[in-house]
Amino acid sequence: MSKQPFLSGKKGVLGVILLIIFLSALPIVLEAEESYFIYFLYISFIYITVAQGWNLVAGYAGQVSLGQHAFFGIGAYVTAMSWDAGLTGYLDPVAMFSSGAIAALLAVIIGLPLLGKLRDDYFALGTLGFAEILRVVFIQGKDITGGPIGIMLPSGRYAGMTPYYYISLGIAVLTLVCIWFLIRSRFGLGFVAIREDEQAAEANGIPLLRSKILAFSIGAFFTGLCGSLTAYYSFHIHPGGVFTLTWGLLPLLMTILGGIGTFWGPVIGAVLLAGVFELANMWMPELHTLISGLFIVLVTMFMPNGVVSLVKGGDGPPFLYRIGPFRSLFGQSNTGRVSDGAYENGAENTIQR
Amino acid sequence: MANEEVLRLENISKSFGGVKALNNVSLSLAKKKIVGLIGPNGAGKSTLFNVVTSFYKPDQGRVFLEGRCITGVTPYKICRKGIGRTFQLVKTFTSMTAYENVVVGALYGHKLRGKDAQKSAMEALELVDLADKKDVVTSHMTLSDRRLLEVARALASMPIVVLLDEPMAGLNPTEIVKMLQIINRAREERDMGILWVEHKVDAVFHLCDHVAVLDYGVKIAEDTPENVAHDTKVIEAYLGKEAVKR
């Protein structure tokens, strides 16, 4: 059984580089300011980044966070507040980096109690609660945060779609490259070990809390970057817009649809779902949510391992393999398969700590 | 030195609510030796393991590794200091290959890097005869192979002491013979002591230098396998008072 992920090796690297060159050239070919497609790609890149950030925490390290919108919101507010105060400028790399860094710092601070004391569902609820608390804090923040109305930024500075496109592309590429190397390092191996069995991971020398916080804060950093760029794009930041659960749930949906715990899953899921949202919105605005919802239900029903399982060499078994008539086409390729390994999974005697 | 002490437990006590799971248990383990730990269900064997690996904190008593007190150190540091363990219910990382499982032990358990980690992982796999299955995903392995894999993962962290928690559970007679060979090989090739909890008493008696018997959290006997087998207290614990009279 091969575990080689697809798009790896020399051909894969070449393919990815060509794709990046193609994407970089697009605004030149298409009319960037007019093209809806450029906007679509811009929002897709942001979705890819946020989804991949969540995938690192939940898909690889197994810590399901429902509070990613906290980091998105913090990123947006750090950028908006520092620009409002005159500390940073328009599309300022320092502001963007600080936004990510402060989101990551927040993840460390909140991760210590949440990741240290809570597990599984309780951790998920804890992160959800934390993000909601943060939203209320920013609503009640009076002059410091601008209250429920938020912060207005000088929209006259808008420099057109092109810079946003390139920055979002850059952020997405940076995220993917970082996470690609991270999951292939010993840290990535440690994350997966923690996901598979915390007790065994700990008994084999993996520092649980430190590793979990590392994954959590790296995810938060990239999510914060996206929040920052969104602040520059919308010129109006308010708690209802950036601390909304949408930014907590979208990455989750996209990652699961694409293939959780796989590298390309969140990428495919983000682009696909963004596409479905936009198309449904364009053609049948009144049925938009219905169609998007139906799509999500169908994918999860028929592709529980995500869309990535369609691609040969993806991390799950190929989708077509699981449909009766196609089974013979694939043959018995699973060498070394002896049993399904469900011997003793029933009675887990977890140790109380 | 043949009789070098690697692990010493001093007067360990541990209660859960009103139940005394361990009561004043002391134990000593020397390098290259295997000490078997037997006892009826609920005698406190697994609790003792969890105290040694710091998953539980003892109410009383101390644990020494090569003369240094390690009581209360966090579990991941216990591993790095040199105590490896396996679990009664196998806990392999199921989505990983056999090699990836073992390399975790080398990378994290002994902080080896790069080629050193690879080498340590492959040596451990070879020791348990799993080198040819290194690329098999763990969820596709038999129970017997996964138990061996756990041993390999513990060995890859270059332990001074290995705790085996019922490595024979669920294995068929052929697999038990194989496991016995491998435990013996591990003792001969590595400079370490082995503490071995087991229900299959004949397997323990076959290989152990010493056998300790726990009953209701109390160590009721510790001696060579032959003497333990004839100890009245032990027979009583396993078969009841009637058996002793006869």
pLDDT at residue A231 is higher than 60: yes
Asked whether the beta carbons of residue B154 and residue A339 sit closer than 8 angstroms, the reply is: no
The answer, yes or no, to whether residue A189 has pLDDT greater than 70, is yes
In a domain, A340, yes or no: no
Please say if the pLDDT value at position A226 is more than 60: yes
How many angstroms away from the CA of A7 is the closest CA of chain B? Answer: 20
Inform me whether the pLDDT recorded for A80 exceeds 80.
yes
Confidence band, pLDDT 50/70/90 cuts, at residue A94: very high
Whether this model's pTM surpasses 0.90: no
- Superfamily grouping for domain B1-82+162-177+192-246: P-loop containing nucleotide triphosphate hydrolases (3.40.50.300)
State the average pLDDT for chain A.
Answer: 83
Residue percentage of chain B with pLDDT more than 70: 97
Side-chain-side CA neighbours of residue A255 (13 Å):
25
Confidence of residue B51 (pLDDT cuts 50, 70, 90): very high
Type of residue at B229: A
Tens of pLDDT along B193-212?
A: 999 998 888 888 888 999 99
Q: Which residues on chain B are in Cβ contact (under 8 Å) with A204?
A: 76, 79, 84, 104-105, 108-109, 153-154, 157
Indicate the DSSP class of residue A286.
G
Q: What is the pLDDT of residue A79?
A: 94
A50 in Cβ contact with A247 (< 8 Å)? yes
Mean pLDDT of chain B: 90
Beta-bridge mates of residue B12:
B25
Q: Which two structure tokens, joined as six digits, stand for A28?
A: 């030149």
Report the pLDDT value the prediction gives residue B233, as an integer from 0 to 100.
85
Is A155 among the domain residues? yes
Across residues A271-284, what is the average pLDDT?
87
For chain B, what are the domain ranges? 1-82+162-177+192-246, 92-158
* Nearest chain B alpha carbon to A193: B93
pLDDT band at B154 (very low <50, low <70, confident <90, very high): very high
Confidence of residue A41 (pLDDT cuts 50, 70, 90): very high
Please state, in angstroms and rounded to a whole number, the distance separating the CA atoms of residues A150 and A238: 4
Instruction: Provide the token pair at B36.
Output: 């078997």
User: A26 in a domain, yes or no?
Assistant: no
What pLDDT is attached to residue A316? Answer: 45
A197/B92 touch (CB, cutoff 8 Å), yes or no: yes
Domain that holds residue A93: 35-262
Any domain includes A257: yes
Pairing of the two strands A236-237 and A151-152: antiparallel
With a pLDDT cut of 90, the percent of chain A lying above it is 47
Contacts of A21 (CB under 8 A, 6+ apart): none
Q: Look at residue A57 and tell me if it is in a domain.
A: yes
Q: In this predicted model, what pLDDT tens digit does every residue of A45-74 receive, in sequence order?
A: 999 999 999 999 999 999 999 999 999 999
Closest residue, chain B, to A346 (C-alpha): B89
Q: Is residue A215 part of a domain?
A: yes
| Residue B100, pLDDT above cutoff 70 | yes
**Better-scored residue on pLDDT, B238 or B154:** B154
Q: Count structural domains, chain A.
A: 1
Q: Region B5-9: what's the mean pLDDT?
A: 92
Q: Is the pLDDT of residue B241 over 50?
A: yes
Do B140 and A202 make contact, defined as CB atoms within 8 angstroms? Answer: no
Q: In the predicted model, what is the mean pLDDT of residues A23-42? A: 85
Q: Give the residue among A319, A328, A283 at the shortest CA–CA distance from A298.
A: A319
- DSSP state letters, chain B: -TT-EEEEEEEEEEEETTEEEEEEEEEEEETT-EEEEE-STTSSHHHHHHHHTTSS--SEEEEEETTEE-TT--HHHHHHHTEEE--SS----TTSBHHHHHHHIIIIIS---HHHHHHHHHHHHHHTT-GGGTTSBGGGS-HHHHHHHHHHHHHHT--SEEEEE-TTTT--HHHHHHHHHHHHHHHHHSS-EEEEE-S-HHHHHHH-SEEEEEETTEEEEEE-HHHHHT-HHHHHHHH-HHHHH-
Whether A290 maps to a domain, the answer reads no
- The answer for B 123-182 residues in CB contact with A (under 8 A) is 133, 135-143, 145-146, 153-154, 157, 170
